[in-house]
Amino acid sequence: MIARLRGRVVAADADQVILETGGVGYQVYCHLRTLAALHEMGDREVTLHVHTAVSDDAIRLYGFLARDELRLFRLLIGVERIGPKAALSILGRAELPTMVRAIRDGDVALVATVPGIGRRTAERVVLELRDRLGDLALSLEPAAPTAAAQAVEAAVAGLVGLGFRESEARPAVRAALVGAGETDGDVTALVGRALRLLDVGPAT
């Protein structure tokens, strides 16, 4: 089982990166904030804490920059109807201390804002995990958002203002961030790239 990888990101997609270490490229699924942070790091060597999921048809790796994120991810996928994709969406919705406090304090509304997570599922997450978090991340203050992460949130808000649903705007912005290069902090350019990817008029 792979528990940790250290290497350089050589490729990225909307929900994953290829991390090369020891001459081998590993496909690792990440949430949006991790992707944004890795994008800002450029070609520097990075370390990802990894959860290895083995199924009948595939072995998938899920990577996190912080060990506590990995811990919460494993707790989340233990909740009924929360798979790895939904768990990544929950972790990507807010900084770790914010999400931990929301679950611990019974803030169903915040968890329910995650695309694809309805209120009933959010209530289940809170009910099953609120007493199992211990001191997970509570001693941490939310980290200042990276420039890329700030641009992503502003771009998503811009698209929502144009009439798109967040559930379609966020994946488009996430995809637009990949390969954005020097424009990664340019909200206008990011919105433009996302609109071209959407290639449709705003929802009405």
Residue 42 lies in a domain: yes
Residue 138 lies in a domain: no
List pLDDT tens digits, range 48-60. Answer: 999 999 988 899 9
What's the CA gap between 23 and 175, in Å, rounded? 27
CA angle 152, 123, 60 (to 5 degrees): 55
What's the CA gap between 187 and 55, in Å, rounded? 39
Residue 135 lies in a domain: no
For residue 143, pLDDT beyond 90 = no
Show the domain range for 47.
4-64
User: Which residue type sits at 199?
Assistant: D
Looking at the structure, do residues 25 and 12 belong to the same domain, yes or no?
Answer: yes
For residue 70, pLDDT beyond 90 = yes
> In the prediction, which pLDDT does 200 show?
53
Confidence of residue 171 (pLDDT cuts 50, 70, 90): confident
Looking at the structure, do residues 60 and 72 belong to the same domain, yes or no?
Answer: no
Confidence of residue 116 (pLDDT cuts 50, 70, 90): confident
For residue 150, pLDDT beyond 50 = yes
Per DSSP, the three-state class of 203 is coil
List pLDDT tens digits, range 19-57. Answer: 999 999 999 999 988 988 888 888 899 999 999 999 888
Residue 151 lies in a domain: yes
Residue 177 lies in a domain: yes
Confidence of residue 170 (pLDDT cuts 50, 70, 90): confident
Residue 153 lies in a domain: yes
Confidence of residue 183 (pLDDT cuts 50, 70, 90): very low
Q: In terms of pLDDT, which residue wins out, 87 or 97?
A: 87
CA-wise closest residue to 153 among 181, 113, 203: 113
Q: In terms of pLDDT, which residue wins out, 79 or 37?
A: 79
Looking at the structure, do residues 96 and 118 belong to the same domain, yes or no?
Answer: yes
Number of structural domains the chain divides into: 3
For residue 5, pLDDT beyond 80 = yes
The CATH number of the domain where 83 resides is what? 1.10.150.20
Write out the two tokens for 87: 């768990």
Q: Which residue has the tokens 């350089």?
A: 8
Q: In terms of pLDDT, which residue wins out, 10 or 174?
A: 10
Q: Which residue has the tokens 């050589």?
A: 10
**Mean pLDDT score, 105-128:** 93
What's the CA gap between 183 and 7, in Å, rounded? 25
Q: What is the residue-averaged pLDDT of the chain?
A: 85
**59-64 and 24-29 as β-strands: parallel, antiparallel, unpaired?**
parallel
